Structure 1
Amino acid sequence: MILACKQLHKAYGIDVILDKITFHLEEKEKAAIVGVNGAGKTTLFRVLTGETPADHGEFYIKKDASLGYMAQNQQIESSRTIYEEMLSVFQKILETETLLREMENEMGRLLGQELSDKMEEYSFLQHFFEQNDGYSYQSRLRGVLKGLGFGEEDFNRPLTQLSGGQKTRIYLGKLLLSKPDILLLDEPTNHLDIASIEWLEDFLRGYEGAVLIISHDRYFLDRIVTKVVEIENKKSNVYNGNYSFYFNQKEINRDVQQKAFDTQQKELKRQEDVIRTLRAFNREKSIKRAESREKALDKIERVDRPDSLPDHMRLTLTPLITSGNDVLHAEELSKTYGGNKIFQNVGFDVRRGEKAAIIGPNGVGKSTLFKMLLREVASDSGIIRLGTNVHVGYYDQEQQKLDESKTIFSEIADTYPNLTAGQIRNVLAAFVFTNDEVFKPIAALSGGEKGRVSLAKIMLSKANLLMLDEPTNHLDMFSKEVLENALNCYEGTVVYISHDRYFINKTAEKILELTPNGVVEYAGNYDYYLEKKADYLRNEAEKAKDAGSTSLAPTPNTSETKTDWLKQKEQQAAERKLAAKISRLEQEIEKTETAIAKADDNMALASTDYTKAQQIFEEKIKLEEKLELLYAQWEELQ
C-alpha cells in the first residue's frame, strides 16, 4: 500500500465538502476519483498534497514516496523555451554529466593514489548517471513532447508565446518525466487531442508508479483504471473495476438495495399491523405475544434507503419545424492563415437526422471549419450551402455567445423575451439552477455552469440543425449522459466537434476526419472508425510490401467466354454463401436476444442475492457485447 485515506472529513464553515472518505491505493495501481461537479474531488487532492488541511480523519503516504500533482489549467511562468523548460527536470543528471566530463579531463593529469581516488569517485557518479537514464533522457524528453502534440518545430518556442492549454501540457510533460511514485492528475486530458490522449493512455498503463486520476473522460478511464472511488453525497464508495464496471455495478447496487429496503419496509409494516391487532385483543396471552414480536422487531437490522442521487440536468431537444432532406453541403473548402494553408479540398454532405462528428488533431482547423460553416469566418474557396428550412443552434466551446455582464436569468429572458418569469425559472431548474442561483452573474460561473446555460439556450431555440463545438467540455459524467440521451432522441440533425471518444461512440452515426488535404468519411461511430482505420493502414502496409515483388503466377490460358462463365459461377457461389451466413447470423441474433430477455427475468428473481445477481449481470453484459458484434456483422454482410 502506497496511499490510504481513513474517515477524512473537510468542511468550510457549516458547508461539509467531504465526510468519511475512505480508500487505499496499492503500488503501481491506477485508480479514478469520480463524482459530479462540486462533489469535492479537487478538494480531496488538495488535502492529499497538504495544500488544504483535513478537519478530521487521516491519510497515509508511504515513507520516502514522492508525490507529483497536476491541477487543472496548471500554468508555468518562464522565459525559457519549451525544450529548456522540459530539460530542467533533468538538472541533477545534467550537473552529473558536466562533472563527469570535468573529471575525465582532470584524470588525464593525475597519477598514483590521486588517480585511484578520482577513478573511484568517477565510478560512483557514472553509476548514478546510468541508473537515472543519463544516456536516454533526451530521447525520453522528445518522446513526451511529441506524444503531447508538440512537433520538432515547437521545441525552441518561448513559453511566453504559448496558450494556457499549451502551458498545462508542458507542466504535464515535466511531471511525467520526473516519475514520482504517486501521480495525482486533475483532468489531464483537457487541452489534449485524441492522438495525445491515446499516447497518454499508453504511457500511464505502463507507468511504474501509482496513479490517481480525476477525469470526466470515460473512454480514457475505461482503458487505464482498475479501481473507481466515487464521491457522492460527500461520502466515498469504492468499486474494483474500470468506469464501465463502476457505472453498471452502481445501478445494480442501488436497485438491489432499494428492493431490499422496500421488502423490509413491507415486512415491518405487516409485523406492526399484527402487533396492533394482538394488543387490540387486550388479553394476557395476546399482549405477551405482541411484546415478544416487538422485541424481535427491535433486533432486526434495518436496511438503509439508498441515498438520493445528486440533482442532474434534464434536457429535451425538439425541432420546431422539419428541415429538407439535404441539410448541409460543403465543397472544395480551403483556408489559409498567415501564408500557412490549414486545409484544402474539404467537402462533405450531411442529411436530415444524421449525427456527424468532426474529429482531427489540434491545429488541423476543426473550429475554423465550424465557423466557416456558420458564416462567421470567410472561406478562401469552395461552396457552403444550407438546405431548405434549416435553423441552426450553435454551442460555442469558449461560451463567447454568453454576455458576462448579465445574470443567468437575464441571459435567457433577453434571448427569449416571450417567456414568462415562471417559464424561465422552470427551464433553469431543469439545468440545476434554482432559487437565487438564477441571479448569479455569467462572469462568476464555472465552465460547467456556463455549459449548462448554453445548453438551455440550445434547447429553447428548437433548432433543427445543432452545431456543437466540444459540447462535453466541463460537463460532469452524469451531464454528459443526459446530453447523449437527448441527442440520441433528437429528431433533427447534429454536427459536432469532440475529443470525447466515449461521447462519439454513443452518439455519432458518421465520422468526418478532417485532414490538411480534405475530409475522410466513416459511416459509423468511433469504434467503427478505429476498425476501418486499422484495416486501411494494414492494407497499405501489405500493398507496400507487395509492390517490390514480381508475380510469378502463369497467365491462365482460357478464352474470354470461359473466364466469364467461371466468374459467373464464382459470383453465384459467393451469393449463396453470403445468404447462408446472413441466415445463420439472424438465427444467432434471435437466440442471443432471447438469452438476454431470460437474464433480465433471472436478475429480477435474484434481486436479494447479491452474488447471484452479479453473476447474471456479468453474463448479460457478455451477451449484449455478443449481440452488438452480431448486429455489426449482419450490417456488414447486408
Structure 2
Amino acid sequence: MSILDVEQLSHSYGDKAVLQNISFRILKGEHIGLVGANGAGKSTLFNLLTGKLLPDSGHIHWNPTAKLGNLEQHIQLESGVTMMAFLQGAFQDLLNAEQEMLAISMEMGNAAGEQLDKLLQRYSHLQTILDQHDFYQMDAKIEEVAAGLGLTSLGLKTDVSKLSGGQRTKLLLAKLLLTQPEVLLLDEPTNYLDLAHIEWLKNYLSTYPYAFVLISHDTGFMNEVVNVIYHLEHNQLFRYTGNYQQFLKAYELRKEQIHQQYQKQQEEIQKLETYIQKNKARASTAKQAKSREKKLEKMVRIDKPTDQPKSTFSFQVHYQPARLILETEDLKIGYHESLFSAMNIKLERGEKVAIVGHNGIGKTTTLKTLLGQIKPIEGNVILGDRVQPVYFSQEVLIKGNQTALEETCSLFPHLTQKEARTMLARCGLRSEHIFQPLRTLSGGEQTKVRLCQLQLTTGNVLVLDEPTNHLDTSAKEALQQALQAYEGTILLVSHEPEFYQSWVTQVWDMEKWV
C-alpha cells in the first residue's frame, strides 16, 4: 500500500524548469535515497511534498492517515525552554492523554452511576494508549536518542536559545526521530554530526520500521541505510532498486543503453532524411518519400545524453608569506570561560592541517580566534609577516535578491562580466544558476558560488570550515584535488576523514586539548 502517490508533477522557477511530469510513489517501510547533482531539484521536491511550494501542474496524494516528519532547518527556538522539555514535545499527544487521565481521576471522586462508568471507560482507554506507546519509557527514549546524537554532553537542562546552529539542527533531528512518523524526509542529516553520531544514526535508520526519504552527499552513509534510489536528472525522476552502490552500476548501464539508442536513432534519422531529400521530387518515388517523411514526423526523439557540468577548482598563492604562519602563546579561547587549557601551537608555511573533534567542542570558535574575529580570553595569536588568510565560513546568511553573477561582480569589480561568468561556470554552475537569485539556489550551488569567490580572493592561507557540506560527489572530488595541489597553507575543519586523510600533513585533535 502506498503512503504517497505523485502524478505528472512539474515545477519551474521563472523560465527554468526543475521538474517535468514526474510520477512516483512511496510504499510503507521503503528506505529511499534521493540523489542527483547540486541543483537537480532534490530540495525543491521536498518543499513540494511538504506544501511549502505549490506545483505548476500535477498532483500529490498523501494517504490521509500518514504522519509526515520533515527536518526543518529554520525553526525559531524560544528562550526559556530546556532541551529536555523541547524533546518531550515529541510525545505531546501522550502528555495530553496523561493530563486528561489526571483530570478524570479528580472527577471520579465526585461521580457515580453512569457518569462514573463513562469516566472509567475513558480512563481505561487512555491508559491503553499510553501503554501501547511505551509512555512510561519516554525519558529513557529521549536519553537514548539524545546520547546517540551527542546532545547529552551539552546537558539536557540547557536552554535551547543558547545552542549553536549545528547543535540546534541536532536537537531538531532528535525530536523528529522521537516522533517516529510514517514518512521521514531527511535533507543532509549528517552535516553537523561527528563520526560516532553518524554511526548511531546509520544503525537507527537501517532498522527504522517506517518509510523515509534521504538526501545525503555522504554516499557511504546512504549506501548502508537505503533499499531504493530515486535519481533526479534532466528534470526527470528514475527509480532503481537496491542501495547506492547497486544504483551506480545500474546507472552506468542505463547511460550506455541510452547512448546506444540515441546513436541508433540518429543513424535512422540520417537515412530517412537522405532518402526524402533524394526522392521526394521524383514522381516514381514521391509516395515512398512522403511515407518516410510522416514516419520522421511521428518519431519520438531521444534527447542527446549530456553530463552534468563538472566543477573545477584552483587556489593560488598570490604572494609568499614568511615561514612562520601563526603561533599562539598560552592561548585560551571561548566566550565566557575557556574551552581548553592554554594552547601553544605553531603553524608553518606549506602545512595542511585538519582540525577535528566532536560537534560543539569549539572548532569554529578556534578558527575565528586564530583569525582575530573573536578575542581570546587569555594569551596571544601571532601572525607571521605577509600572512593573508582567506576564510570560508560554515554558515552564511544570504539576504536580498542579488544573483550569483551580480554578487561576484560587486565583490570583484576588476572582473568583466564575461570573466565572472567563466569563473562561475568552471565551478560547475549553469547559466540559469548564474542569473538566479543567490538565496534561491540549492545549498550545493551556493557553496560552489562561495568557493568561486574564494578562488578570486587574494591570500596565501586557506581557512576552511566544513567546505564539503552540501557538495555533490563530483564537486567534492574536485575540491579535494584542488586542495591537494594548493601550494599554500591550509587550516581545515571537516567531519569527513575520507576527504582529507590523503593530503593533510597533520591532524589537530581538539579532544586532546581539553
Give 1:26's aligned residue.
27
Could you say if the C-alpha distance between residues 336 and 55 of structure 1 is closer, same or farther in structure 2, counting changes exceeding 3 Å?
A: closer
Q: What amino acid maps onto 2:510 in structure 1?
A: L
Q: Relative to structure 1, is the Cα distance of residues 230 and 333 closer, same or farther in structure 2, using a 3 angstrom cutoff? A: farther
For 1:132, give the aligned amino acid: H
8 Å CA contact 2:404–2:436 kept in 1: the answer is: yes
- Greater CA deviation, 96-105 or 312-321? 96-105
Looking at structure 2, the residues matched to 475 and 382 of structure 1 have their Cα atoms a distance apart, in angstroms, of 35
Separation in 2, partners of 1:410, 1:350: 36
Question: Partners of 2:429 and 2:333 in 1: how far apart?
Answer: 42
Moved more, 356-365 or 330-339: 330-339
2:466 alignment counterpart = 470
Would the aligned equivalents of 2:424 and 2:434 in 1 still touch at CA under 8 Å?
A: yes
Counterpart position of 2:206: 205
Contact 1:6/1:21, CA 8 A, preserved across alignment: yes
Is the 8 Å Cα contact of residues 205 and 224 (structure 1) preserved in structure 2? yes
Report 1:618-637 matches (<5 A): none
SS in 2 for 1:473: coil
Output the CA distance in 2 between the equivalents of 1:239 and 1:288: 47
State whether residues 408 and 438 of structure 1, in contact with CA within 8 Å, keep that contact through their aligned partners in structure 2. Answer: yes
Q: 2:491 aligns with which of 476, 490, 495?
A: 495
CA distance in 1 between partners of 2:242 and 2:501 (Å): 21
Q: CA deviation at 1:227?
A: 2.3
- Which structure is larger by alpha-carbon Rg, 1 or 2? 1
Q: Secondary structure at the match of 1:343?
A: coil
- Partner of residue 457, structure 1: 453
Is the Cα contact below 8 Å between 2:332 and 2:342 reproduced in 1? Answer: no
Q: Once the 2 structures are TM-superposed, how far is the Cα of residue 254 of structure 1 from its aligned partner?
A: 2.8
Q: Which residue matches 1:304?
A: 302
1:372 offset after TM fit, Å? 4.0
1:399–1:450: 8 Å Cα contact kept in structure 2?
no
Q: 1:423 aligns with which of 415, 419, 425?
A: 419
What does residue 234 of structure 1 align with? Answer: 235
Out of 374, 390, 393, the position equivalent to 2:390 is 393
Deviates most, 200-209 or 48-57: 48-57
Q: Counterpart in 2 of 1:483?
A: 479
SS of alignment partner, residue 341 of structure 2: strand
1:133 is displaced (CA, Å) by: 0.7
Equivalent position of 1:317 in the other structure: 315
* Counterparts of residues 584-595 of structure 1 (less than 5 Å): none
Contact 2:393/2:464 (<8 A) preserved: yes
Q: Identify the match of residue 374 of structure 1 among 344, 348, 371.
A: 371
Amino acid at match of 1:498: S
Partner residue in 2 for 1:342: 339
Residue in 1 that maps onto 2:354? 357
Separation in structure 2 between the aligned mates of residue 217 and residue 75 of structure 1, nearest angstrom: 27
| Pair 1:422–1:73, CA change in 2 (3 A) | same
Measure, in 1, the Cα distance between the counterparts of 2:307 and 2:441: 23
Q: Partners of 1:67 and 1:214 in 2: how far apart?
A: 16
Checking the alignment, whether the CA contact within 8 Å between 2:259 and 2:305 is kept in structure 1 is: no
CA deviations 1:511-551 (Å, max 9, x no partner) are 43221526xxxxxxxxxxxxxxxxxxxxxxxxxxxxxxxxx
- C-alpha separation between the residues in 2 aligned to 1:160 and 1:481? 37
CA distance in 2 between partners of 1:111 and 1:294 (Å): 90
Distance 2:254 2:487 in 1: 34
**Structure 1's 501 and 293: CA in aligned 2 closer, same or farther, altered over 3 A?**
farther
Given that residues 260 and 303 in structure 1 are in contact (C-alpha distance below 8 angstroms), is that contact kept between their aligned partners in structure 2?
no
Residue in 2 aligned with 1:593? none
1:517 and 2:507 correspond: no
Q: What displacement does 1:30 show?
A: 1.5
Report SS of the residue matched to 1:2. Answer: strand
CA distance in 1 between counterparts of 2:476 and 2:309 reads 14
Q: Distance in 2 between matches of 1:425 and 1:299?
A: 38
Return the offset for 1:132: 0.8
The letter of the residue matching 1:357 is A
Q: Secondary structure of 1:130's match?
A: helix
Separation of aligned partners in 2, 1:243 and 1:398: 29
- Are the counterparts in 2 of residues 342 and 516 from structure 1 also a CA contact under 8 Å? no
Q: CA deviation at 1:139?
A: 0.7
Counterparts in 2 of 1:178 and 1:476: CA distance versus 1, 3 Å: same
Q: Which amino acid aligns with 1:308?
A: T
Q: Percent identity?
A: 32
Give the CA deviation at 1:131: 0.9
- Post-superposition shift, 1:80? 2.9
Counterpart code for 1:89: A
- Gap change, CA 1:420 and 1:57, over 3 Å in 2: closer
For 1:219 and 1:89, locate their aligned partners in 2 and report how far apart those are by CA, in whole Å.
29
Aligned to 2:203, what secondary structure does the other structure show?
Answer: helix
1:4–1:61 Cα contact (<8 Å) kept: yes
Offset of residue 469 of structure 1? 1.4
The change in CA–CA distance for 1:407 and 1:299 in structure 2 (over 3 A counts) is closer
Cα distance in 2, alignment partners of residues 215 and 67 from structure 1 = 19
d(CA) in 1 for partners of 2:446, 2:16: 23
Q: Distance in 1 between matches of 2:242 and 2:197?
A: 24
> Cα RMSD between the aligned structures?
4.8
Q: Which has the higher helix share?
A: 1
Cα distance change of structure 1 residues 293 and 97 upon mapping to structure 2, 3 Å threshold: closer
1:519-558 alignment runs, 5 A limit? none
Unaligned runs of 5+ in 1: 519-638
Contact 2:272-2:296 at 8 Å conserved across structures: no
CA distance in 1, matches of 2:374, 2:340: 14
Gaps of 5+ in 2: none
Q: In structure 2, do the counterparts of structure 1 residues 487 and 473 end up closer, same or farther at CA, with 3 Å as the change threshold? A: same
Distance in structure 2 (CA, Å) of the matches to 1:89 and 1:338? 32
Q: For the Cα contact (< 8 Å) 2:68–2:183, is it kept in 1?
A: yes
* SS of match in other structure, 2:482: helix
Deviation at 1:218, TM superposition (A): 3.4
Q: Give the direction of change, closer, same or farther, for the CA distance of 1:153–1:184 in structure 2 (3 Å limit).
A: closer
- CA change 1:143–1:233 in 2 (3 A) is same
The residue type equivalent to 1:7 in the other structure is Q
Tell me how far 1:76 sits from its aligned partner: 3.7
- The answer to whether the 8 A contact 1:20-1:236 is kept is no
SS at match of 1:199: helix
SS of residue matched to 1:4: strand
Greater displacement, 389-398 / 490-499? 389-398
Deviation at 1:176? 1.6
* Counterpart Cα distance in 1 of 2:336 and 2:84: 26
Structure 2 CA distance for partners of 1:217 and 1:506, relative to 1, 3 Å: farther
Determine the C-alpha separation between the residues in 2 that align with 1:403 and 1:135.
46
What residue number does 2:85 align with?
A: 84
| Superposed CA offset, 1:167-210 (max 9, x none) | 44433322221111111223333444444433333322222110
> SS state of the match for residue 452, structure 2?
helix
Q: How many residues are treated as equivalent by the alignment? A: 512
For 1:229 and 1:421, locate their aligned partners in 2 and report how far apart those are by CA, in whole Å: 37
Provide the TM-score with structure 2 as the length reference.
Answer: 0.78
Are positions 1:262 and 2:263 aligned together?
yes
2:402–2:437 CA contact under 8 A, matched in 1: yes
Shift of 1:304: 1.8
Q: Distance in 2 between matches of 1:438 and 1:48?
A: 27
Deviations 1:219-257 (A, max 9, x none): 432332222222233221223344454456444533442
Contact 1:329 1:347 in 2 (8 A): no
How far does residue 37 in structure 1 lie from its aligned partner after superposition?
A: 4.6
